[in-house]
Structure 1
Amino acid sequence: MDARFTAEQEEIRRTLRELLVKRCGPEEVRAAVRSPAGYDPALWDALAQQLGLPGLALPEAYGGVGCSVTELALACEESGRALAPSPLLSTAVLAAPLILALGTGAQRAELLPLLASGELTAALAVPGARLATALGLVGDNRGDWSGGGRSGGVQARRADGGWRLYGQAAQVLDGHSAGLLVVAAHTGGFVRTRTLLFLVRAREWDAVRLEPGAGVGAEAGAAVRARVESGGGLVRVRQTALDGTRPQARIELRDVEAELLGDEDADVSGALAGTGDVAAAVLAAEAVGAADRVLERTVEYVRQREQFGRAIGSFQAVKHRLADVYVAVQAARSAAYYAAWAAGAGADAGGERVGGLALAQALEALRTAASEGIQLHGGIGFTWEHEAHLYFKRAAGDELLFGPVHRLRGYAADLAHLFDRGADGGSGRGGGNRAEVAV
């Protein structure tokens, strides 16, 4: 592994940072969050058309740039610094890899060029709060987490030579605005239960209804907006989210026509787990970028804020706290970069799946950096007007969606058989004996 960045990778970072500094400051972020889409369409066009970010890790044969996961992670590290609201994560990190891995030749040829250009955005719809499980980050994703029978979720059945979907999926990232939904649904009944992925082509949405009282605390994306697709049985409701820079929606499917992604024998669980490892590495880099920016802002502030006739940054206690944050951020950065390389290298990395561990370390670093930033900013750090709370909410929101941290680490330990006794080969997940750890 060569840890040095290439000239192309450095150029990606520099160009994207310059663009986001000019067009995605704190006020622009707040304005984008309050918009119906939850992001700035003009900025998204610049990211997609000028820089080609949605297609950065897609093959050139499908209109992509042909780069690796590392380049995508570096780009998301810069977007994380600015907390830039965009459908990049849902489109390029969650949906596009699944279509690339499972789609038929016709599906890939039709959809991937549109996703790579940013003309089409997509979202992965998973029932309930099970996104981390579906992606194989906190547990085995080969269970019936997609629902079935009376357990809720989303069900699929054959009808008139096609497929129809019924059910509901909550906490769908960018689900209210995406033009394409990749829906995980249960099929096969009780005889051959399994989870398959389906494509739902959402119609152009323009009519937006604001619920009474929505808009209070809009900086956090508190506005709840709904859109009912005419005649299709698809209801999409933008929900209140802790982190307004990550818009979420509830998707209701009422006899909705859908197209099977790939074929019925596809390894859906394996594709989701592979996508989850890449997504974890990218999210870790994004969290590192956010943590680094919080640390920078806090250092700038303590150098200027004076108390007892001297800058508070000169106090030893403040120096120690910021030094601890710096060490945590640098460690998380190393883990994120290695996870991105390992996810891109695949078999060359020995089949390692280290994305979950890197994500856990990065989220913990961001939470620590944001907490210390709020504390060291004093009274202003607790106000809505300051941006510190946005970074804290990003850490908390990502942990709710993709964690929590202790489950990310726990499952990674299970995969590595860290607590197996060794003698009987038992696994912590598979019912084997766990080693006793003395404290």
Structure 2
Amino acid sequence: MDLAPREEQAMAQETVQRFLADRYDAGSMARAPMSLDDWRALGELGLFAFLLPERLGGMGGGAADVMFVAEAFGRSLAITPLAEGVLLAGELIARGGTDAQVARWAGRLAQGEAILGFARGGTIEAGRVSGHPGLIRDGMAAAAFIVALDRGGVALVAAEAPGVLRRPVRLVDGSIAAEISLDGTPAELLDLLPGDFDAAIALAELAIVAELVGAMDSLLDQTVDYVKQRQQFGKAIGSFQVIQHRCARLYVMLEQARSMLLKAALDECVAVTAAKAYVCDAALRLAEDAVQLHGGMGVTDELAVGRGLRRVLLLSSLFGGGRAAREALAA
């Protein structure tokens, strides 16, 4: 089986890598969320159109396309709303949105002009949603929220609609979420078929797993470079057998995670859940070991590994993290 990227996948991955390399280095990786100007610039390059469904005017990017792009973001430790703000939102609107809703959001999502948040919670009555969905990633910057309701159904809520209250909350990786509550807020229900919601969630989770694998790759590279240079007892600590064994174990964890990611991109659904169950924990273990191998400096904001650990902490907890995935597999 040929697992090499197709030409268009390689071009999209290279676009992300070159774009981020021009703007971020070890001193700025994961220091702050990507600016809205940079996000729009990626939209102008056609990256989001490459990933979005055809009904939204995109190229109908599949799981493998998402994997290559998201892994490139993860390797640069970029803090972006890709998984929920583009992939999940775009998939749900394309599958269950009216023609008017599609027309309203297609161009804005493709151009990076709008970010949509995702939350769970609330009830709807007579077209109005009430409840407390809680924290929404990138919720302060979101133009609208997609809300999975408690009793089933998915609603689209404008961020500036009456009855929306949101309070900024800084997350562990430095991004700004919103704690929201809805009080009789006008909403539009999406007309989803059975399985549509789960398929959209699986695509977002695949992107998160790919970001984690990219982050693992980056953190391991930084750690190996560091132990080759750090001197102790007149030798590089990377020459000590115990350090070599530890780095070897981290490499095995990375390659196992990458293999599960590839399987998830090919099989989706159950394979995505299995990949998430392993990769969330493996990425956190690798990030923690990377920090430890850097010594006291590893926990500071001076080195990318410390910031990378905080990024991995957030990504590995999304959608319930590895624990929720294992519970789903056992059910």
TM-score by structure 2 length?
0.92
Mapping for residues 257-336 of structure 1, pairs under 5 Å? 257-262=186-191, 266-267=192-193, 270-336=195-261
Q: Which amino acid aligns with 2:297?
A: I
Partner of 1:134: none
Contact 2:283/2:316 (<8 A) preserved: no
Match of 1:157 among 111, 121, 125: 125
Residue deviations 1:224-277, cap 9 Å, x none?
Answer: xxxxx7xx22112121322324x3211111221112222xxx446x22211222
Match of 1:84 among 58, 78, 82: 78
Q: Which amino acid aligns with 1:353?
A: V
Match of 2:182 among 246, 249, 253: 253
Deviates more, 1:399-408 or 1:17-26: 399-408
- Other structure's SS at 2:270 match: coil
Give the aligned length: 331
Structure 1 distance, partners of 2:65, 2:54, is: 15
Partner of 2:318: 401
Structure 2 distance, partners of 1:109, 1:382, is: 46
Mapping for residues 167-316 of structure 1, pairs under 5 Å? 167-186=131-150, 194-203=151-160, 232-245=162-175, 247-262=176-191, 266-267=192-193, 270-316=195-241
- Other structure's SS at 2:134 match: strand
Partner of 2:301: 384
Percent identity over the alignment is 34
- Asked if residue 354 in structure 1 is aligned to residue 318 in structure 2, the reply is no
Moved over 6 A (4+): none
Contact 1:93/1:279 (<8 A) preserved: yes
Mapping for residues 107-126 of structure 1, pairs under 5 Å? 107-126=101-120
Structure 2 distance, partners of 1:99, 1:73, is: 21
Mapping for residues 17-32 of structure 1, pairs under 5 Å? 17-29=17-29, 32=32
- For the pair shown, the structure with the greater C-alpha radius of gyration is 1
1:404 Cα shift? 3.7
Q: Which amino acid aligns with 1:274?
A: A
Partner of 1:226: none
- Other structure's SS at 2:125 match: strand
Q: Which runs of 5+ in 2 are unaligned?
A: none
- Asked if residue 102 in structure 1 is aligned to residue 60 in structure 2, the reply is no
- Asked if residue 65 in structure 1 is aligned to residue 59 in structure 2, the reply is yes
1:27 Cα shift? 4.8
Contact 2:32/2:174 (<8 A) preserved: no
Structure 2 distance, partners of 1:398, 1:4, is: 26
Structure 1 distance, partners of 2:189, 2:55, is: 23
1:365 Cα shift? 2.4
Check 1:411–1:369 CA distance in 2 against 1; reply closer, same or farther (3 A cut). Answer: same
- Other structure's SS at 1:123 match: strand
- Other structure's SS at 1:253 match: strand
1:354 Cα shift? 1.0
1:58 Cα shift? 2.1
More helix by share: 2
Q: Which runs of 5+ in 1 are unaligned?
A: 34-38, 128-153, 187-193, 204-228, 344-351, 415-428, 430-439
Q: Which amino acid aligns with 2:25?
A: G
- Other structure's SS at 2:316 match: helix
Residue deviations 1:71-106, cap 9 Å, x none?
Answer: 122111111112212222222222111111222233
TM-score by structure 1 length?
0.71
Check 1:200–1:404 CA distance in 2 against 1; reply closer, same or farther (3 A cut). Answer: closer
Partner of 1:436: none
Contact 1:360/1:403 (<8 A) preserved: no
Aligned-residue CA RMSD (Å): 2.1
Structure 2 distance, partners of 1:94, 1:258, is: 18
